[in-house]
Amino acid sequence: MKDKKNGLQTLLAEIGLKASPHELEKYLLLLDELALWNKSLNLTSITDAEEAMEKHIVDSLSLCSVLQQPKFLLDIGSGAGFPSIPLKIARPEIEIFSVEASRKKVHFQRHIVRKLGLRGFTVIHSRIEDLKRTIPDLPAFDHVVSRALAPLGDFLAWARPYVSDSGSVIAMKGPGKDDELDAVSITGDWIVKDQRSFKLPASGSVRQLLIFKRARTSLGL
Protein backbone atom coordinates (compact mmCIF):
# COMPACT_ATOMS: atom_id res chain seq x y z
CA MET A 1 0.00 0.00 0.00
CA LYS A 2 2.83 2.40 0.86
CA ASP A 3 4.43 1.92 -2.55
CA LYS A 4 1.10 2.58 -4.25
CA LYS A 5 0.58 5.72 -2.19
CA ASN A 6 4.04 6.99 -3.07
CA GLY A 7 3.49 6.16 -6.72
CA LEU A 8 0.19 8.00 -6.88
CA GLN A 9 1.57 10.98 -4.96
CA THR A 10 4.44 11.19 -7.47
CA LEU A 11 2.04 11.16 -10.41
CA LEU A 12 -0.11 13.88 -8.84
CA ALA A 13 2.95 16.02 -8.14
CA GLU A 14 3.74 15.97 -11.86
CA ILE A 15 0.56 17.96 -12.51
CA GLY A 16 1.05 20.24 -9.52
CA LEU A 17 -1.22 18.47 -7.00
CA LYS A 18 -0.65 16.99 -3.57
CA ALA A 19 -2.97 14.65 -1.68
CA SER A 20 -3.16 13.91 2.02
CA PRO A 21 -2.53 10.33 3.22
CA HIS A 22 -6.26 10.01 3.92
CA GLU A 23 -7.12 11.11 0.38
CA LEU A 24 -4.58 8.71 -1.11
CA GLU A 25 -6.16 5.84 0.81
CA LYS A 26 -9.55 6.72 -0.64
CA TYR A 27 -8.24 6.95 -4.19
CA LEU A 28 -6.59 3.55 -3.89
CA LEU A 29 -9.66 1.97 -2.30
CA LEU A 30 -11.70 3.33 -5.21
CA LEU A 31 -9.32 1.68 -7.68
CA ASP A 32 -9.27 -1.61 -5.74
CA GLU A 33 -13.08 -1.79 -5.71
CA LEU A 34 -13.22 -0.85 -9.39
CA ALA A 35 -10.81 -3.66 -10.26
CA LEU A 36 -12.83 -6.15 -8.18
CA TRP A 37 -16.16 -5.21 -9.77
CA ASN A 38 -14.58 -5.03 -13.20
CA LYS A 39 -13.86 -8.76 -13.17
CA SER A 40 -17.54 -9.57 -13.53
CA LEU A 41 -19.18 -6.36 -14.78
CA ASN A 42 -16.69 -4.89 -17.26
CA LEU A 43 -16.98 -1.33 -15.97
CA THR A 44 -13.81 -0.04 -17.62
CA SER A 45 -11.38 -1.18 -20.31
CA ILE A 46 -8.42 -0.14 -18.15
CA THR A 47 -7.25 -3.13 -16.14
CA ASP A 48 -3.62 -2.28 -15.37
CA ALA A 49 -3.28 -0.81 -11.86
CA GLU A 50 -0.69 1.84 -12.75
CA GLU A 51 -2.62 2.89 -15.85
CA ALA A 52 -5.76 3.22 -13.74
CA MET A 53 -3.95 5.51 -11.30
CA GLU A 54 -2.99 7.81 -14.13
CA LYS A 55 -6.04 7.69 -16.38
CA HIS A 56 -8.74 7.50 -13.71
CA ILE A 57 -7.34 9.43 -10.74
CA VAL A 58 -4.73 11.84 -12.09
CA ASP A 59 -6.72 12.67 -15.21
CA SER A 60 -9.87 13.30 -13.15
CA LEU A 61 -8.04 15.53 -10.67
CA SER A 62 -6.65 17.72 -13.43
CA LEU A 63 -10.01 19.50 -13.12
CA CYS A 64 -8.88 20.97 -9.79
CA SER A 65 -6.69 23.43 -11.68
CA VAL A 66 -9.68 25.13 -13.36
CA LEU A 67 -12.38 25.02 -10.67
CA GLN A 68 -13.00 28.22 -8.75
CA GLN A 69 -15.21 27.86 -5.66
CA PRO A 70 -18.27 26.04 -6.97
CA LYS A 71 -21.16 25.02 -4.79
CA PHE A 72 -22.81 22.67 -7.30
CA LEU A 73 -21.21 20.54 -10.01
CA LEU A 74 -22.87 18.22 -12.54
CA ASP A 75 -20.94 15.35 -14.16
CA ILE A 76 -22.67 14.14 -17.33
CA GLY A 77 -22.04 10.58 -18.48
CA SER A 78 -19.84 9.79 -15.51
CA GLY A 79 -19.33 6.08 -16.23
CA ALA A 80 -17.91 4.38 -13.17
CA GLY A 81 -17.60 7.76 -11.44
CA PHE A 82 -14.91 9.70 -13.26
CA PRO A 83 -14.08 12.49 -12.85
CA SER A 84 -16.70 13.09 -10.15
CA ILE A 85 -15.69 10.62 -7.41
CA PRO A 86 -11.97 11.54 -7.29
CA LEU A 87 -13.01 15.18 -7.47
CA LYS A 88 -15.34 14.74 -4.48
CA ILE A 89 -12.51 13.20 -2.46
CA ALA A 90 -10.26 16.17 -3.27
CA ARG A 91 -12.96 18.85 -2.93
CA PRO A 92 -15.48 17.54 -0.37
CA GLU A 93 -17.17 20.93 -0.06
CA ILE A 94 -18.62 20.68 -3.59
CA GLU A 95 -22.14 19.24 -3.93
CA ILE A 96 -21.82 16.84 -6.86
CA PHE A 97 -24.51 15.26 -9.02
CA SER A 98 -23.32 12.35 -11.18
CA VAL A 99 -25.50 11.28 -14.12
CA GLU A 100 -25.01 7.90 -15.80
CA ALA A 101 -27.28 5.81 -18.04
CA SER A 102 -25.67 2.41 -17.39
CA ARG A 103 -27.34 0.62 -14.48
CA LYS A 104 -24.27 -1.44 -13.55
CA LYS A 105 -22.09 1.68 -13.42
CA VAL A 106 -24.68 3.46 -11.29
CA HIS A 107 -24.69 0.48 -8.90
CA PHE A 108 -20.91 0.68 -8.63
CA GLN A 109 -20.96 4.41 -7.99
CA ARG A 110 -23.55 4.08 -5.23
CA HIS A 111 -21.55 1.25 -3.66
CA ILE A 112 -18.28 3.14 -3.62
CA VAL A 113 -19.89 6.38 -2.40
CA ARG A 114 -21.24 4.43 0.60
CA LYS A 115 -17.94 2.63 1.17
CA LEU A 116 -15.93 5.86 1.07
CA GLY A 117 -18.46 7.70 3.23
CA LEU A 118 -18.88 10.53 0.73
CA ARG A 119 -21.61 13.03 1.56
CA GLY A 120 -23.14 15.51 -0.81
CA PHE A 121 -22.77 13.15 -3.76
CA THR A 122 -25.92 12.19 -5.68
CA VAL A 123 -25.83 9.39 -8.27
CA ILE A 124 -28.62 9.66 -10.85
CA HIS A 125 -29.58 6.79 -13.13
CA SER A 126 -30.73 8.59 -16.26
CA ARG A 127 -29.91 9.50 -19.81
CA ILE A 128 -28.99 13.16 -19.95
CA GLU A 129 -31.85 13.72 -22.41
CA ASP A 130 -34.29 12.51 -19.73
CA LEU A 131 -32.71 14.24 -16.74
CA LYS A 132 -35.27 17.04 -16.43
CA ARG A 133 -38.03 14.44 -16.16
CA THR A 134 -36.01 12.21 -13.82
CA ILE A 135 -35.23 15.03 -11.37
CA PRO A 136 -37.14 18.21 -12.23
CA ASP A 137 -35.84 20.36 -9.36
CA LEU A 138 -32.09 20.29 -9.93
CA PRO A 139 -30.10 23.36 -8.88
CA ALA A 140 -28.39 25.66 -11.36
CA PHE A 141 -24.84 24.35 -11.60
CA ASP A 142 -21.66 26.36 -11.28
CA HIS A 143 -19.86 23.80 -13.43
CA VAL A 144 -21.09 21.11 -15.81
CA VAL A 145 -18.32 18.67 -16.74
CA SER A 146 -17.80 15.56 -18.81
CA ARG A 147 -14.87 13.41 -19.79
CA ALA A 148 -14.74 12.36 -23.46
CA LEU A 149 -18.49 11.75 -23.54
CA ALA A 150 -19.57 12.94 -26.97
CA PRO A 151 -18.79 15.47 -29.70
CA LEU A 152 -18.37 18.91 -28.21
CA GLY A 153 -21.49 20.39 -29.81
CA ASP A 154 -23.67 17.65 -28.35
CA PHE A 155 -22.18 18.02 -24.89
CA LEU A 156 -22.70 21.77 -24.86
CA ALA A 157 -26.31 21.36 -25.97
CA TRP A 158 -26.94 18.84 -23.18
CA ALA A 159 -25.22 21.03 -20.60
CA ARG A 160 -26.96 24.28 -21.51
CA PRO A 161 -30.21 23.78 -19.49
CA TYR A 162 -28.25 23.01 -16.33
CA VAL A 163 -25.43 25.56 -16.15
CA SER A 164 -26.10 28.82 -14.32
CA ASP A 165 -25.83 32.12 -16.19
CA SER A 166 -22.46 32.79 -14.59
CA GLY A 167 -21.33 29.15 -14.62
CA SER A 168 -19.02 27.27 -16.97
CA VAL A 169 -19.03 24.06 -18.96
CA ILE A 170 -15.82 22.04 -18.93
CA ALA A 171 -15.05 19.43 -21.57
CA MET A 172 -12.22 17.00 -20.84
CA LYS A 173 -10.81 15.93 -24.18
CA GLY A 174 -7.87 14.21 -25.80
CA PRO A 175 -5.91 15.72 -28.70
CA GLY A 176 -7.57 16.93 -31.90
CA LYS A 177 -10.02 19.46 -30.48
CA ASP A 178 -9.71 22.12 -33.21
CA ASP A 179 -12.37 20.80 -35.61
CA GLU A 180 -14.87 20.53 -32.76
CA LEU A 181 -14.09 24.05 -31.57
CA ASP A 182 -14.60 25.44 -35.08
CA ALA A 183 -18.00 23.77 -35.31
CA VAL A 184 -19.07 25.16 -31.93
CA SER A 185 -17.90 28.72 -32.70
CA ILE A 186 -20.30 28.91 -35.64
CA THR A 187 -23.34 28.76 -33.37
CA GLY A 188 -22.41 31.85 -31.34
CA ASP A 189 -23.99 30.38 -28.19
CA TRP A 190 -20.72 29.83 -26.35
CA ILE A 191 -17.40 31.57 -25.85
CA VAL A 192 -14.16 29.83 -24.92
CA LYS A 193 -13.14 31.13 -21.52
CA ASP A 194 -9.95 29.07 -21.24
CA GLN A 195 -8.07 26.20 -22.86
CA ARG A 196 -5.44 24.13 -21.11
CA SER A 197 -3.31 21.36 -22.53
CA PHE A 198 -1.12 18.97 -20.58
CA LYS A 199 0.38 15.50 -20.77
CA LEU A 200 -0.34 12.70 -18.36
CA PRO A 201 2.91 12.08 -16.48
CA ALA A 202 3.49 8.36 -17.11
CA SER A 203 2.05 7.71 -20.57
CA GLY A 204 2.55 11.15 -22.07
CA SER A 205 -1.03 11.09 -23.36
CA VAL A 206 -2.23 14.57 -24.31
CA ARG A 207 -5.24 15.95 -22.47
CA GLN A 208 -7.23 19.13 -23.07
CA LEU A 209 -9.46 21.08 -20.71
CA LEU A 210 -11.86 23.31 -22.63
CA ILE A 211 -13.80 25.82 -20.52
CA PHE A 212 -16.87 27.52 -21.99
CA LYS A 213 -19.13 30.33 -20.84
CA ARG A 214 -22.51 31.10 -22.32
CA ALA A 215 -22.38 34.01 -24.76
CA ARG A 216 -24.28 37.13 -23.76
CA THR A 217 -26.51 36.74 -26.82
CA SER A 218 -27.57 33.27 -25.63
CA LEU A 219 -28.62 34.86 -22.33
CA GLY A 220 -30.88 37.30 -24.15
CA LEU A 221 -28.55 40.28 -23.53
pLDDT tens for residues 169-199?
A: 999 998 765 666 666 655 678 899 999 999 9
pLDDT tens for residues 9-54?
A: 999 999 999 999 999 999 999 999 999 999 999 999 999 999 999 9
Rounded CA separation 216/46 (Å):
41
Sign of the four-CA dihedral 182, 183, 186, 189: negative
219-to-160, 163, 171 alpha-carbon distances in Å: 11, 12, 21
Ordered DSSP codes for 109-141: HHHHHHHHT--SEEEEES-GGGHHHH-TTPPPE
Whether the CB-CB separation of 94 and 72 falls below 8 Å is answered with yes
Rounded CA separation 157/105 (Å):
24
Q: What angle do CA 149, 155, 156 make, to 5 degrees?
A: 155
> What is the pTM for the complete model shown?
0.93
Half-sphere exposure of residue 165, counting CA atoms within 13 Å on the CB side?
6
Rounded CA separation 207/61 (Å):
12
- Percentage helix, strand, coil for the chain under 3-state DSSP, each rounded to 5: 45, 25, 30
